[in-house]
Chain A
């Protein structure tokens, strides 16, 4: 019989080893699955994880891919620490992009630097609003936030599809479902690196992602609000006795994560696309869930976690072309990684003990005595 016994002490070495081991095991298992399905596993792993980094400019693109993942992941960490299960970040991202797009398309002639700020504010408002809906329904009607936030994602995807085909469509786009291009003041330019110059598509939004992650870390680990979130997640009863309101914390974390997802949507569009189209995100809202877990719910670690997962995403793009497999296949690696991380979580918190039959009967006897 196997028994999981809580550990008295969790070593730092184990805490660091788990994410690293998880990544390694994921690579091996992913390779095995590719081999079983008749693909060359070495080629698959090469295409997914090494080929994307073969050129230096691709390193810039890696940061670009990681940018939305880090921002959304940081927001989701707020939710998951509070034991609130927001899995609708994808929809919140879309609403954010629409909020920003509405501002940008309303002032096509402006050259004001404030445009980009107004866009960011509207993006965060849009995302926060979309996150607020499941929070309010959860508090008021006890509905399940997982299902509501997910249904809102489907609704958001149809909403953006409607605006770019209907009211916001560029009449000069020859019938394509695209809006007009944003004015230059609404775009995020590329960021030159000192001594290197431009590196791939590296843009200023990446800097924002780093700031968001550090600020999130500071708030969660150094401020009362962060402590409140953690307490309400781990011990809601104790939190209530301390005078904290479960409902307020739920609303706060859902709005924060919604706002950050919205911001990520705005940056994604302004830096890479420059207009709205039916598909502006490749499931970043879902992928960021893995980033949050890989970072072990620590926003600072979300930077590294975002880069690791972004590598798999970039690899998915490459493999789509070179191996002729759909992009969703990256999900194999992402799914296994999440499985491994969760198993690692158990192994750090518990010790696995085998109990032989003789031992078992001995303990049973003790109880009987």
Chain B
């Protein structure tokens, strides 16, 4: 019983981990992309489409990531090339992604696919309690690996230092000879690819069908998670598992008949997001990790 519960919580948190890690990298470079929800939906519908066409869910993973990256590029062209308002451009991306995924997915409604199957790691998966950590699918393992790599690259390598420098002060970084727009473009593309993977996880693992708007706000929760994690990749995992836990708690409460209307239980992840934002923001801790030039556009000067 406990094993099952832990596994469900983990699986629910994976899309959030993927999308939030991508957004974290983009934000570290100084770009606030509010289009996560739209990119995730594009990832979800493309993953489903590719998996259904080829019968191979692994191609679905790749297709989902690339679709997320492609729409992120549109965002990048506007925000970086034309210096448009980042908040509004991100909203445009979400609206556009929701619409386009609906049109692409219209013929796919009602179909079913074979999702990713779980890969049991030998020996480790037989361990008591923590064994479930090794009964996940390929994309889930990949998510954990990516978080570790992102954490290493951001904090221990020169490339990570340049990325952070661009996010803290783009004028200084520019003066030092770093290509601000190029760095930000790559960071936004990475964010899009990761959001696409997060979206892909939904039809490939959680529910093996496509429904319009199936992310139901996960993209926005991923954005809140980045703040929760105070821009540190490791904390994204903790935050995502907490949110996954809250989501699952509502199912448990329903199953046990706690007598609370289901709508109030469904509200819990959203309430939790608000409470977490208040707690994190009020302590002033947010300033440590927050890139100083987040959301500010860079205009090259002669």
Say yes or no: A137-B278 contact (C-beta < 8 A), given A331-B99, A334-B99, A343-B78: yes
- Within residues 131 to 185 of chain A, which ones have a CB less than 8 A from any CB in chain B? 137, 140-144, 146-148, 150-152, 154-155, 158-159, 161-162, 165-166
Q: Give the contacting residue for B96; candidates A2, A142, A162, A332; CB below 8 A.
A: A332
- Determine whether the beta carbon of B34 is less than 8 Å from that of A329: no
- Within residues 160 to 204 of chain B, which ones have a CB less than 8 A from any CB in chain A? none
Q: Give the contacting residue for B278; candidates A143, A150, A154; CB below 8 A.
A: A143
Q: List 28 A-B contacts (CB under 8 A).
A: A3-B299, A3-B302, A143-B278, A143-B282, A147-B220, A147-B227, A147-B273, A150-B217, A151-B270, A154-B217, A155-B267, A158-B264, A159-B267, A289-B91, A290-B95, A293-B88, A324-B106, A329-B106, A330-B99, A335-B92, A335-B93, A335-B99, A336-B92, A336-B96, A338-B95, A343-B84, A346-B84, A350-B83
- Please name all residues of chain B whose beta carbon is closer than 8 Å to the beta carbon of A141 when the two chains form the complex: 277-278, 281-282
Residue of A nearest to B301 (CB): A3
Over the window 277-311 of chain A, the binary record of Cβ atoms lying under 8 Å from chain B Cβ atoms (1 yes, 0 no) is 00000000010011001000000000000000000
Let me know if A10 is at the binding interface, CB within 8 A: no
- Please name all residues of chain A whose beta carbon is closer than 8 Å to the beta carbon of B277 when the two chains form the complex: 137, 141, 143-144, 147-148
- Please name all residues of chain A whose beta carbon is closer than 8 Å to the beta carbon of B129 when the two chains form the complex: none
- Determine whether the beta carbon of A147 is less than 8 Å from that of B99: no
Let me know if A37 is at the binding interface, CB within 8 A: yes
Q: Give the contacting residue for A331; candidates B95, B266, B267; CB below 8 A.
A: B95
Give the distance to chain B from A134, nearest Cβ to Cβ, in Å: 9
- Determine whether the beta carbon of B84 is less than 8 Å from that of A342: yes
- Determine whether the beta carbon of B82 is less than 8 Å from that of A355: no
- Determine whether the beta carbon of B84 is less than 8 Å from that of A333: no
The interface size of chain B toward A, counting residues with CB under 8 Å, comes to 52
How distant is the Cα of A150 from the Cα of B223 in the complex, in angstroms?
Answer: 11
How distant is the Cα of A346 from the Cα of B299 in the complex, in angstroms?
Answer: 12
- Within residues 10 to 48 of chain B, which ones have a CB less than 8 A from any CB in chain A? 34, 38
* B binding-site residues for A, Cβ under 8 Å: 34, 38, 74, 78, 81-85, 87-89, 91-100, 102-106, 212-213, 217, 220, 223-224, 227, 261, 263-264, 266-267, 270-271, 273-274, 277-278, 281-282, 286, 299-302
- Please name all residues of chain A whose beta carbon is closer than 8 Å to the beta carbon of B87 when the two chains form the complex: 85, 146
How distant is the Cα of A3 from the Cα of B82 in the complex, in angstroms?
Answer: 10
- Please name all residues of chain A whose beta carbon is closer than 8 Å to the beta carbon of B38 when the two chains form the complex: 335
How distant is the Cα of A152 from the Cα of B277 in the complex, in angstroms?
Answer: 13
How distant is the Cα of A326 from the Cα of B301 in the complex, in angstroms?
Answer: 46
Q: Give the contacting residue for A335; candidates B96, B274, B278, B300; CB below 8 A.
A: B96
Residue of B nearest to A44 (CB): B103
- Determine whether the beta carbon of B103 is less than 8 Å from that of A148: no
* A binding-site residues for B, Cβ under 8 Å: 1-4, 33-34, 37, 85, 87, 137, 140-144, 146-148, 150-152, 154-155, 158-159, 161-162, 165-166, 286, 289-290, 293, 324-336, 338-339, 342-343, 345-347, 350, 355, 360, 363
- Determine whether the beta carbon of A342 is less than 8 Å from that of B274: no
- Please name all residues of chain B whose beta carbon is closer than 8 Å to the beta carbon of A346 when the two chains form the complex: 82-84
Give the distance to chain B from A305, nearest Cβ to Cβ, in Å: 14
- Please name all residues of chain A whose beta carbon is closer than 8 Å to the beta carbon of B281 when the two chains form the complex: 141-144
> Mostly helix, strand, loop or mixed at chain B's interface?
helix
- Determine whether the beta carbon of B89 is less than 8 Å from that of A339: yes
Q: Give the contacting residue for B102; candidates A4, A140, A147, A326; CB below 8 A.
A: A326
Residue of B nearest to A149 (CB): B274
Q: Give the contacting residue for A2; candidates B81, B97, B286; CB below 8 A.
A: B81
Q: Give the contacting residue for B264; candidates A143, A152, A162; CB below 8 A.
A: A162
Say yes or no: A328-B213 contact (C-beta < 8 A), given A85-B87, A162-B263: yes
How distant is the Cα of A259 from the Cα of B102 in the complex, in angstroms?
Answer: 32
Give the distance to chain A from B33, nearest Cβ to Cβ, in Å: 12
How distant is the Cα of A213 from the Cα of B68 in the complex, in angstroms?
Answer: 38
- Please name all residues of chain B whose beta carbon is closer than 8 Å to the beta carbon of A290 when the two chains form the complex: 95
- Please name all residues of chain B whose beta carbon is closer than 8 Å to the beta carbon of A338 when the two chains form the complex: 88-89, 91-92, 95-96
- Please name all residues of chain B whose beta carbon is closer than 8 Å to the beta carbon of A85 when the two chains form the complex: 87
- Please name all residues of chain B whose beta carbon is closer than 8 Å to the beta carbon of A327 when the two chains form the complex: 102
- Determine whether the beta carbon of A342 is less than 8 Å from that of B100: no
Residue of A nearest to B282 (CB): A141
- Determine whether the beta carbon of A148 is less than 8 Å from that of B95: no
